[in-house]
């Protein structure tokens, strides 16, 4: 079935259900462009709109029941006018919060509850009391606020609600609810106590992640991508990276931040044509060059993260010598050479890993990072290849790797990690020739930054 056919398959009754929900979120998000003139403030008390009542979640659940399947972003776009969509939302089994309720839950968005900041806006830890919402148990939460001056806007907020509101899997972060009140756009998630994989790999949170923990995280994240790619309506994640892999108290991996997620191709379509967006260092080369997005684009990004897990080094690190700044360019050829395994592996592991398992992981990463997407495995095959390695424990740990790089470089690297480093750097020369990216620096807390890129070509208006 083509994308157009899928959209037109919605019945008049189904469209009216979603149209009713669209009308429930008043105030208008304004999107990325119109919001920039707004003053950046922490939300204060606002009178509740008619969306912010106990019936909001019931409406969403009723709509999902009426449809009987997940709606794609395209389906939603076909149900209302552009103006209506700017104030619309959709979800399943989600709780509707007011700004006042979330302000109370986070103690007024107290600085001490600040967890970090991404392209959408700052994130705060909070707590919901027992019976604060019918059926919602007392629990810690993470509240993400929309920053009108940030890199993302209402469309990304809506995308997050559409995808995470309908998708449930052990390796996806659970979206508990949302707030759409006046100009405010907030998202409420389960709290992930161990933070992001990025922080553990590069910020030296004690203790150093063990080999078995790293491998478990890789397998869990891979299973999350399998679920998305193999869904009845496939989803392409498009922003797979270490900062979007969150960890629960047992270090179980869960994918977060679906603001850039896209519906995958269906029927005879082979790809989705879209504006190129993402974090530099993780995007697949063919996606950057052509704007053609497929599930194999996520596979490439997974390969980048797998190499980061192996090496303990960032995808892009400007503090290193120029030829070593791009991790994939520097190390990909080593991945297939067992004799160079020691040069790849993170010295922080101190040799405490199975050499045979590590080499097999390296080969999985090598295939995922192929320049030709047809040569990359699908994520189901990646799980098949990686999961048995969790049980490989009979190898004798090899000797710790010492003085792999010059002492001066080691000091530079350590200083970079201590200060949060520069997460992402310049583009590859080949990619620079193809597109001219616009850079937006995301603030992610003290000493942290992330370069978020949007590539443009003449006449490129897709999103």
In angstroms, the CA 210 to CA 47 distance is 49
Omega cis (within 30) before 207: yes
In angstroms, the CA 208 to CA 350 distance is 10
The residue to which tokens 């991508």 are assigned? 225
147 is annotated as an active-site residue? no
DSSP letter for each residue of 320-382: S-GGGSBHHHHHGGGGG-GGGHHHHS-GGGTT-S-HHHHHHHHHHHHHHT-SSGGGSPPHHHH
**Helix (DSSP H) and strand (DSSP E) numbers for the chain:** 18, 15
First to last CA, the chain: 22
> How many other CB atoms sit within 10 Å of the CB of residue 407?
8
Structure tokens at 23: 């009308």
Backbone φ and ψ of 48, nearest 5°: -70, 140
User: What Å distances lie between residue 428 and 28, 90, 433, CA to CA?
Assistant: 39, 39, 9
Catalytic residue among 75, 239, 263, 317: 239
Active-site residue list: 239
């Amino acid at each position: 079935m083509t994308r157009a056919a899928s959209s037109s398959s919605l019945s008049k009754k189904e469209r009216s259900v979603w149209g009713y929900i669209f009308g429930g979120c008043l105030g208008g998000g304004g999107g990325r462009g119109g919001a920039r003139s707004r003053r950046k403030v922490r939300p204060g008390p606002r009178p509740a709109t008619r969306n912010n009542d106990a019936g909001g979640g019931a409406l969403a659940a009723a709509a999902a029941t009426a449809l009987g399947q997940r709606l794609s972003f395209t389906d939603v776009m076909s149900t209302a006018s552009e103006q209506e969509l700017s104030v619309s939302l959709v979800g399943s089994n989600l709780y509707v919060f007011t700004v006042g309720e979330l302000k109370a839950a986070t103690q007024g968005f107290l600085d001490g509850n600040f967890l970090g900041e991404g392209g959408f806006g700052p994130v705060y830890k909070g707590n919901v009391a027992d019976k604060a919402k019918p059926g919602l148990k007392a629990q810690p939460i993470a509240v993400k606020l929309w920053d009108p001056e940030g890199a993302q806007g209402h469309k990304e907020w809506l995308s997050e609600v559409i995808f995470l509101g309908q998708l449930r899997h052990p390796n996806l972060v659970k979206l508990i609810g949302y707030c759409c009140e006046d100009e405010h756009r907030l998202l409420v998630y389960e709290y992930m106590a161990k933070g992001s994989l990025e922080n553990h790999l590069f910020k030296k949170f004690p203790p150093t992640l063990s080999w078995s923990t790293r491998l478990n995280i890789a397998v869990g994240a891979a299973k999350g991508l399998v679920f998305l790619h193999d869904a009845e309506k496939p989803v392409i994640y498009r922003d797979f990276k270490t900062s979007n892999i969150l960890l629960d108290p047992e270090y179980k991996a869960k994918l977060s931040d679906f603001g850039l997620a896209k519906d995958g191709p269906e029927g005879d379509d082979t790809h989705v044509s879209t504006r190129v967006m993402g974090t530099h260092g993780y995007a697949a080369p063919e996606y950057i060059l052509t704007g053609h997005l497929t599930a194999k684009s996520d596979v490439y990004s997974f390969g980048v993260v797998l190499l980061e897990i192996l090496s303990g080094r960032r995808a892009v690190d400007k503090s290193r010598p120029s030829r070593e700044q791009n991790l994939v360019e520097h190390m990909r050829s080593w991945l297939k050479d067992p004799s160079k395994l020691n040069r790849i592996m993170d010295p922080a592991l101190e040799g405490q890993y199975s050499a045979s398992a590590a080499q097999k992981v390296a080969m999985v990463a090598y295939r995922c990072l192929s320049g030709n997407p047809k040569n990359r495995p699908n994520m189901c095959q990646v799980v098949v290849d990686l999961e048995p390695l969790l049980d490989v424990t009979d190898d004798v740990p090899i000797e710790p790797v010492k003085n792999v790089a010059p002492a001066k470089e080691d000091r530079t690297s350590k200083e970079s990690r201590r200060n949060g480093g520069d997460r992402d750097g310049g583009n590859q020369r080949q990619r620079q020739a193809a597109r001219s990216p616009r850079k937006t620096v995301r603030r992610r807390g003290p000493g942290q930054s992330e370069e978020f890129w949007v590539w443009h070509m003449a006449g490129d208006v897709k999103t």
